[in-house]
């Protein structure tokens, strides 16, 4: 029987470099986290890549290469968000997202975001959280780090891998943990679209780990900017919606706030932003996994009103994170769960 108790605020895909209102979104999140007495903050990747001053100080070779598709001048906003998080007094844990290395290496991204390593563990409230790194390219049989946006040159099926060494490390962590475990990743491990490609291998690891003892109770991911749950190996795999938007691509360009804002934030037209910050307060206790979400609406037309295909995402695009309670005990292995 699980006797622990932990509460945390989880968010994903802030994308400071795209959004005009990343700072107030974080203000709302931090205020709510303090009200709910969260033990820590958790981000699931694609929060922001380092500002120019940081790169000049700690990675001058990256500063010289600082040019690319998603790079906009939002450095003042990044500094403000880092200040807000630091002054909140709440510990920040997270994982690397693919865009966090658009202007740097993994080593630099970890230093900037305060992560001890690309994959690591931490314990809180009688739960072990296992942060995984899905940012590897499979190139000619080798697993290559995401680095300075290099993944953009490869096909989807070649990107977003854990790799065999990290999978072996994961199994070791699960079998040696004194606590039930929560898996954290940027790319989803449970979905079958825009996912980490070794997800099925992870399901088998989870099955082996949970034989005779409930070692894995939950998996959380970001990346796809959708809300949904699927069951794999008897465990809920929860996709956490973006705090900001869903990316639909420039073929569906639409002016959202104003022409002026669109000029300042040139990739905003390729998004369907949410009016409100989406995040969840998650509490894990002996009665289950309690997810307290938020609802919003789109700024302007929805993706589907613009012709964005339903088949483009594994879960239906919605401007919300639904509140739900998930069991700690084994679930039927059913794939996508009803909302």
For residue range 275-302, what is the model confidence (pLDDT) as tens digits?
A: 999 999 999 999 999 999 999 999 999 9
Alpha-carbon distance of 46 to 98, in angstroms, equals 7
What average pLDDT score do residues 69-94 get? 89
Q: Which two tokens stand for residue 237?
A: 């795999």
CB 20 within 8 A of CB 257: yes
CB 318 within 8 A of CB 227: yes
Return the CA Rg of the chain.
19
Q: Which of 179, 177, 183 is nearest to 219 (CA)?
A: 183
Bridge partners, 281 (sequence order): 9, 292
Model confidence at 41, pLDDT cuts 50, 70, 90, reads very high
Q: Which of 176, 86, 166, 181 is nearest to 124 (CA)?
A: 181
Round the average pLDDT of the chain to a whole number and report it. Answer: 95
pLDDT at 332 (0 to 100): 85
Model confidence at 230, pLDDT cuts 50, 70, 90, reads very high
Model confidence over 232-278: pLDDT tens digits? 999 999 999 999 999 999 999 999 999 999 998 989 999 999 999 99
Model confidence at 72, pLDDT cuts 50, 70, 90, reads low
pLDDT(14) > 60:
yes
Which residue did the predictor score with more confidence, 223 or 264? Answer: 223
pLDDT(73) > 80:
no
Model confidence at 68, pLDDT cuts 50, 70, 90, reads low
């Amino acid at each position: 029987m699980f006797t622990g108790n932990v509460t945390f605020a989880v968010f994903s895909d802030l994308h400071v470099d795209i959004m005009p209102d990343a700072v107030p979104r974080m203000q709302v999140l931090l205020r709510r986290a303090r009200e709910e007495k969260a033990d820590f903050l958790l981000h699931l990747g694609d929060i922001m890549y380092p500002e120019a001053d940081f790169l000049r100080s700690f990675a001058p070779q990256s500063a010289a290469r600082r040019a690319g598709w998603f790079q906009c001048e939002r450095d003042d906003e990044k500094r403000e968000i880092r200040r807000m998080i630091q002054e909140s007094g709440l510990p920040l844990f997270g994982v690397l997202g693919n865009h966090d290395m658009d202007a740097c290496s993994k080593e630099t991204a970890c230093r900037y975001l305060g992560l001890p390593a690309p994959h690591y563990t931490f314990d809180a409230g009688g739960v072990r959280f296992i942060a995984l790194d899905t940012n590897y390219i499979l190139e000619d049989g080798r697993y290559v780090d995401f680095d300075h946006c290099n993944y953009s040159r490869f096909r989807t099926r070649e990107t977003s891998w854990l790799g065999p060494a990290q999978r072996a490390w994961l199994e070791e962590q699960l079998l040696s943990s004194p606590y039930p475990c929560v898996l954290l990743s940027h790319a989803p491990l449970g979905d079958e679209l825009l996912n980490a490609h070794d997800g099925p291998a992870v399901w088998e690891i989870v099955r082996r780990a949970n034989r005779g003892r409930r070692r894995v109770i939950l998996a959380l991911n970001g990346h796809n900017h959708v809300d949904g749950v699927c069951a794999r190996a008897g465990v809920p795999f929860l996709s956490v919606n973006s705090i900001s938007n869903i990316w639909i691509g420039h073929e569906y360009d639409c002016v959202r706030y104003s022409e002026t804002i669109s000029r300042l934030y040139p990739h905003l037209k390729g998004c369907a932003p949410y009016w409100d910050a989406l995040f969840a307060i998650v509490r894990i206790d002996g009665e289950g996994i309690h997810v307290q979400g938020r609802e919003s609406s789109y700024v302007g037309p929805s993706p589907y009103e613009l012709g964005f295909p339903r088949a483009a995402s594994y879960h239906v695009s919605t401007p919300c994170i639904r509140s739900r309670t998930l069991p700690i005990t084994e679930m039927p292995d059913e794939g996508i769960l009803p909302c």
